[in-house]
């Protein structure tokens, strides 16, 4: 029986599955392992089932034992893993696509609504019982008729587009390549960031975190947006230069921000806390029981598939 290290606590039924399929070394206390401890614990194991909280950089991967043949990431993303370093060590890396599309898209829509309709301010006032209705009280931005720019029109971006279109938004997008008419469903393609951002009343960031997308939202690109635009991020925190966005919010160049992800999680840049027009969640994109169960089971199945067949359909390197 193959031996695997599971770096974070999974839902009970998923841990039971892992223990049936493998000799699973589970993290019962959900301790956030240091890179050094992860390396130590991986000794004698055949695979590591990682989480986005695990920084699998080149130095860490180079110190993994030769017995490790698979890193199965419990996420659709894999920005926490140095793919090239893994490839050089002949370690395959897998992810969990498809299964979290709907849940993450729902949070994407929640961010748009929360930021545009000043939900954080409203919740605070309601809880403090200090609000009084007036015709101009907490006036926000209406979605109907506004232009939604989607940065990264993959599965999640496409699902957000479907829901947003039903809410009356006009969909624009930028992608590495233009989609087929069937997948576009009437969305307008832009071949450059500047073109997309310049028409985006609201932006939904859905692109992968790569070396090319780090700080893609920065001091320069923020100036492309119409004054009063709203920026939301359901992808990865590394895509946004926090200081630049905070400055744009303070200058009112950007009206509001909705973030489910941000740099340094769980430590939020204090600049955001001083701005009323931020709607911020603690990385809830995939946080439904159905989705988290499906993700963990797929991460387990990816390892099982590799050891049975020598390959895996969800291999990313």
Kind of pairing between the strands at 188-189 and 170-174: parallel
Q: Which residue, chain included where needed, has tokens 């695997």?
A: 4
- For residue 8, indicate whether it is catalytic: no
- The catalytic position among 118, 174, 283, 292 is 283
- Verify whether residue 236 is a known catalytic residue: yes
Ramachandran class of 219: left when φ > 0, alpha when ψ lies in -120 to 50, beta otherwise = alpha
**182 to 99, 158, 204: CA distances (angstroms):** 21, 11, 21
Q: How far is CA 246 from CA 9, 203, 225, 241, 272, in A?
A: 34, 16, 15, 9, 6
Q: Which of 8, 236, 292, 305 is catalytic?
A: 236
Q: Determine whether 265 is an active site residue.
A: yes
Cis peptide before 266 (omega within 30 of 0): yes
Residue 175 near residue 189, CB atoms below 8 Å: yes
The gap from C-alpha 256 to its chain's centroid, in whole angstroms, comes to: 19
Distance of CA 246 to the CA centre of its chain: 20
Residues with catalytic function:
236, 265, 283
């Amino acid at each position: 029986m193959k031996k695997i290290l599971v770096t974070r606590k999974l839902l009970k039924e998923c841990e039971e599955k892992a223990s049936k399929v493998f000799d699973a070394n589970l993290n019962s206390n959900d301790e956030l392992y240091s890179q050094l401890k992860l390396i130590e614990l991986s000794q004698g194991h055949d695979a590591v089932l990682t989480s986005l909280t695990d920084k699998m950089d080149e130095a860490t991967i180079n110190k993994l034992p030769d017995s490790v043949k698979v890193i199965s990431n419990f996420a659709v993303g894999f920005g926490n893993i140095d793919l090239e370093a893994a490839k050089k060590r002949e370690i395959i890396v897998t992810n969990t696509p498809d299964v979290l599309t709907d849940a993450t898209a729902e949070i994407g829509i929640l961010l748009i609504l929360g930021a545009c309709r000043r939900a954080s301010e409203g919740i605070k006032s309601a809880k403090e019982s200090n609000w009084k209705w007036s015709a101009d009280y907490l006036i926000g931005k209406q979605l109907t008729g506004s232009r939604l720019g989607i940065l990264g029109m993959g599965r999640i971006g496409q699902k957000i587009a479907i829901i947003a279109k039903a809410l009356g938004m006009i969909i624009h997008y930028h992608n590495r390549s233009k989609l087929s008419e069937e997948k576009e469903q009437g969305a307008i393609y832009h071949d450059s960031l500047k073109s997309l951002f310049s028409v985006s009343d609201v932006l939904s960031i859905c692109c992968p975190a790569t070396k090319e997308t780090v700080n893609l939202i920065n001091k320069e690109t923020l100036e492309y947006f119409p004054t009063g635009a709203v920026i939301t991020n359901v992808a990865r925190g590394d895509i946004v230069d926090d200081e630049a966005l905070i400055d744009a919010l303070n200058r009112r160049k950007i009206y509001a921000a909705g973030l489910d992800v941000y740099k340094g999680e769980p430590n939020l840049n204090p600049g955001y806390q001083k701005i009323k027009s931020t709607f911020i969640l603690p990385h809830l994109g995939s946080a439904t029981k159905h989705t988290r169960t499906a993700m963990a089971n797929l991460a387990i199945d990816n390892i099982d598939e590799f050891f049975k067949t020598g390959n895996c359909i969800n291999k990313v390197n």
